[in-house]
Structure 1
Amino acid sequence: MIKEQIIDLIKNELKTNDIKIETLGGMTNRNFLVEGDNNKKYVLRIPGNMTSSLINRKYEKLNSLLMSEHNFNVKTKYFNDESGIKITYFLENSFSLDHSTIKNDMYLKMIAERLYKLHNSNIKLSNKFDVLLEFKKYLSLLKEPSNFYDFNENIREICIFFEKTSIYLIDKYNKLVPCHNDLVPENILIKDNRIYFIDWEYSGMNHPLFDIAAFFLESKLLQEQQESFLKYYNNNINFNLIKNDIIAFQFTQDVLWFLWTIIKEENNEFFDGYAKARIDRAYQSMLTLQKVL
Structure 2
Amino acid sequence: MSFAAMPDADLDEMLGGFPVLADQPRVLEDLPGGLTNRNVKVTTPTGVYVARCCDTSTSLLAIDRDVEYENSRAAEEAGVGAPVVDYRPDLGILLIGFVPGHTLSDDDFDRPGVIAKVAAGCRTLHEGPRFGNDFDMFEIQPRYLKTALDNGFRIPSDYDAYAGQFSDIRAALAGDEASVPCNNDLLAANFVEDGDHVWLIDYEYSGNNDPCFELGNVWRECRLSLDQLEELVTCYHGRAERRSIARARLQGTVSQYGWTLWGCIQNGSSPLDFDFWEWGMERYERAVEEFRGPDFTRLLDDVRTPDRRRTS
Relative to the length of structure 1, the TM-score reads: 0.87
CA contact (8 A) 2:220 2:256 kept: no
For the residue of structure 1 that corresponds to 2:17, the secondary structure is helix
1:120 aligned to 2:127? yes
For the residue of structure 2 that corresponds to 1:43, the secondary structure is strand
* 1:83 to partner: Cα distance: 4.8
Counting aligned pairs with the same residue, the percent is: 22
For the residue of structure 1 that corresponds to 2:177, the secondary structure is coil
1:259 aligned to 2:261? yes
Deviation per CA, 1:28-74: give whole Å up to 9, x if none: 322111223x2532112122684574311121111111111232201
CA contact (8 A) 2:109 2:115 kept: yes
Identify the residue that residue 29 of structure 1 maps to in structure 2.
37
Residue type matched to 1:188 in 2? F
CA contact (8 A) 2:61 2:262 kept: no
Aligned residues: 286
Worse-superposed segment, 161-170 or 108-117: 161-170
For the residue of structure 2 that corresponds to 1:205, the secondary structure is strand
Identify the residue that residue 307 of structure 2 maps to in structure 1.
none
Identify the residue that residue 147 of structure 2 maps to in structure 1.
141
Structure 1 residues 42, 106: CA separation in 2 closer, same or farther (over 3 Å shift)? same
Find the aligned partners of 2:232 and 2:159 in 1 and give their Cα distance.
33
For the residue of structure 1 that corresponds to 2:174, the secondary structure is helix
For the residue of structure 2 that corresponds to 1:100, the secondary structure is helix
For the residue of structure 2 that corresponds to 1:91, the secondary structure is coil
1:236 aligned to 2:239? yes
For the residue of structure 2 that corresponds to 1:15, the secondary structure is coil
Could you say what the CA RMSD is over the residues aligned between the two structures, in angstroms? 2.4
Structure 1 residues 34, 120: CA separation in 2 closer, same or farther (over 3 Å shift)? closer
Structure 1 residues 158, 80: CA separation in 2 closer, same or farther (over 3 Å shift)? farther
* 1:248 to partner: Cα distance: 1.6
Find the aligned partners of 2:113 and 2:289 in 1 and give their Cα distance.
31
Residue type matched to 1:181 in 2? N
CA contact (8 A) 2:215 2:252 kept: no
Identify the residue that residue 284 of structure 1 maps to in structure 2.
289
Structure 1 residues 245, 82: CA separation in 2 closer, same or farther (over 3 Å shift)? farther
Identify the residue that residue 248 of structure 1 maps to in structure 2.
250
CA contact (8 A) 2:233 2:244 kept: no
* 1:257 to partner: Cα distance: 0.9
In the TM superposition, 1:118-197 aligns within 5 A as 118-121=125-128, 123-142=129-148, 144=150, 146-149=152-155, 151-152=156-157, 154-171=158-175, 173-197=176-200
1:11 aligned to 2:16? yes
For the residue of structure 1 that corresponds to 2:239, the secondary structure is coil
Relative to the length of structure 2, the TM-score reads: 0.82
* 1:187 to partner: Cα distance: 0.7
1:222 aligned to 2:225? yes
For the residue of structure 1 that corresponds to 2:132, the secondary structure is coil
Residue type matched to 1:271 in 2? D
Identify the residue that residue 75 of structure 2 maps to in structure 1.
67
Residue type matched to 1:142 in 2? A
